[in-house]
Amino acid sequence: MTLFLVAGEASGDRLGAALMAGLKTLRPDVAFHGIGGPRMQAEGLQTLFPMEALSVMGLVEVLPKLRQLFALKRQAAEAAVALAPDALITIDSPDFCLRVARQVHGSAPGIRTMHYVAPSVWAWRPGRAAKMARHVDHVLALLPFEPPYMQAAGMTCDFVGHPVVGEPVASDAEAAEFRARHAIAPGAPLVLLLPGSRKGEVARHIGPFGETLTRLVHKNPDLRAVVPTVPHVAPILRKAVRGWPARPILLDPADAPDSHAADKRAAYRAADAALAASGTVSLELAASGTPMVIAYDMNRLSFRLMKRMARIDTVTLVNLVSDSRAIPDFLGPDCRADRIAPALEKVLMDPAARAAQAEAMTLTMQRLGQGGEAPGLRAARSVLAHL
């Protein structure tokens, strides 16, 4: 069996790698080609070009790179058609991946096409499902409420679980050891700051996140902060946190490559609350039981366009999956320290707010498949069943 996989960013690389591992378990003869990052390459994928070339966020921000992205789309689609695999599986990054699927389907309609991660048609641009159904046969959904949207448009769709439920979580002992190692007093409030994994995100969030921390420290001088990061944004954050109060602890993979993942998990578990950029990170925090506030700023034109098309009143996945609004989120013009700081202080200090978040986070993990078969293996079974 030969499969052509396309992933466009780090989250897709993780999903693709887990899917590949599941497929190899069920079909040892499978061969992989396509585009992916280091995790997928470790599972045996030879990537056509670096996946990072596709990682662009925002409606306005993508415009300067359109010509390059269209060239890469053509290259990926032509390689898939030339290979004639048993299936094309595109993973997340719908604006790029679904264009690849469309070109492949148009050139070689006999190639089965699947997409892993249902586009958020329940949030905005609902017409995407019908357009997608013209060149996608089958969808692997991460969220339990997504299959009906895909099926109504004419595609088959399986809920395969979210990968966050299979990821390790630090123990209370590991959290206590993290605090002791960094000289954080047992009773001192510890806040996790997660401004994003893209340079543009981090640049926009440094100001409001740093000012929010300043306001909190002004009221509680004992408060400490932890800032996990990834290699390509670590230099930006290292420079920024020098001017922040509370002696922030920067968790840079370059400082401890062998223990960074464990340190990050321990920090999540040790934190009393988190301020995070919108995205999958809210589910990672929920898995650790860490109360949170979500904030996200973007280009003003991008925000206005998205707000006009939005069909939901929250972007936080914990709120959506649990069907609650326990997690405060501050988007676009509301991503300001004077609004974020009181909400984060309430999460730190108000037992009722923390209890409501705990209930929403527990329900979210249950609905995403916690305790069941690993999502990567479930996704692999769905792929093989459809083929």
199 and 335 assigned to the same domain: yes
Q: Which domain holds residue 289?
A: 172-367
Q: Give a yes or no: residue 37 inside a domain.
A: yes
Of 38-52, 85-99, 116-130, 232-246, which range is least confident? 116-130
Residue 40 token pair: 């997928």
pLDDT of residue 56: 52
DSSP 55-87: ---STTTTGGGHHHHHHHHHHHHHHHHHH--SE
Tens of pLDDT, residues 208-219: 999 999 999 999
203 and 234 assigned to the same domain: yes
Please give the Cα distance from 304 to 80 (Å, whole number). Answer: 37
Please say if the pLDDT value at position 33 is more than 50: yes
144 and 192 assigned to the same domain: no
pLDDT of residue 63: 58
Q: Give a yes or no: residue 244 inside a domain.
A: yes
CATH code for position 125? 3.40.50.2000
130 and 238 assigned to the same domain: no
48 and 144 assigned to the same domain: yes
Q: Give a yes or no: residue 122 inside a domain.
A: yes
Q: What is the mean pLDDT of the chain?
A: 92
Tens of pLDDT, residues 167-214: 999 999 999 999 999 999 988 999 999 999 888 899 999 999 999 999
Q: 32 forms bridges with which residues in the sheet?
A: 3
Q: Give a yes or no: residue 167 inside a domain.
A: no
pLDDT range class, residue 304, cuts 50, 70, 90: confident
Please say if the pLDDT value at position 57 is more than 80: no
349 and 379 assigned to the same domain: no
Total domains, the chain: 2
Please say if the pLDDT value at position 334 is more than 60: yes
Question: Looking at the whole model, is its pTM more than 0.75?
Answer: yes
Which residues have C-beta within 8 Å of that of residue 78, sequence separation ≥ 6? none
Q: Give a yes or no: residue 166 inside a domain.
A: no
Of the candidates 204, 357, 190, 372, the residue with the CA atom closest to the CA atom of residue 282: 357
Helix intervals (H) in the chain: 10-26, 38-42, 66-83, 94-107, 128-133, 147-152, 172-181, 199-219, 234-241, 260-270, 281-288, 300-309, 317-322, 337-349, 351-367, 375-386
* Residue 367 three-state SS: helix
pLDDT of residue 58: 45
Please say if the pLDDT value at position 62 is more than 70: no
